[in-house]
Amino acid sequence: MSDQSSGSEKRGSTRRRFLQLAAASALIPLLNIHSRPAHAESLPPLNDTNPTAAGLFYRKSQEGAKAVDGYQEGRKCDNCSLYTASNSGCMLFPGKSVEPAGWCKAWVPKPS
């Protein structure tokens, strides 16, 4: 019986993760990413009170991220597919920088 509930929890977690990635992916075309050049200048930091950042549980550090349900060790902005190393930007937050050691629930693995 506990195996069934454990399997159900795992399927629920996988479904939730899929829905988060689908929602994040759906936002990308709306951001007009391709017409926005990568700027070498520094960008102002993403504010914790940004509604999207808050909704995605953005945290500036791994310590902060560890407290968020769904966080997985080793996931951080600088190994996220949506991160731009040249200006610490994030495709989800145009014009803002994120912390390389930060994280949010929209984290997407880089293609291998």
Position 107 contacts ligand SF4 (CB under 6 A): yes
Number of residues in contact with ligand SF4 under rule CB under 6 A: 13
DSSP class of 30: G
Verify binding: residue 83, ligand SF4, rule CB under 6 A.
yes
Residue placing its CB nearer to ligand SF4 in the complex, 8 or 25: 25
Q: DSSP for 86-105?
A: TTTEETTEEEEE--TT-B-T
**Contact stretch for ligand SF4 (CB under 6 A) within 7-15, 32-40, 66-74, 77-85:** 77-85
89-90, strands of its sheet edge to edge: 83-84, 89-90, 93-97
Helix or strand (DSSP H, E) at 53: helix 51-55
> Which residue in 82, 86, 111, 112 binds ligand SF4 (CB under 6 A)?
82
> Between 8 and 52, whose beta carbon lies closer to ligand SF4?
52
Read off the tokens for 111.
């293609």
Q: Is residue 65 at the binding interface for ligand SF4, with CB under 6 A as the rule? A: no
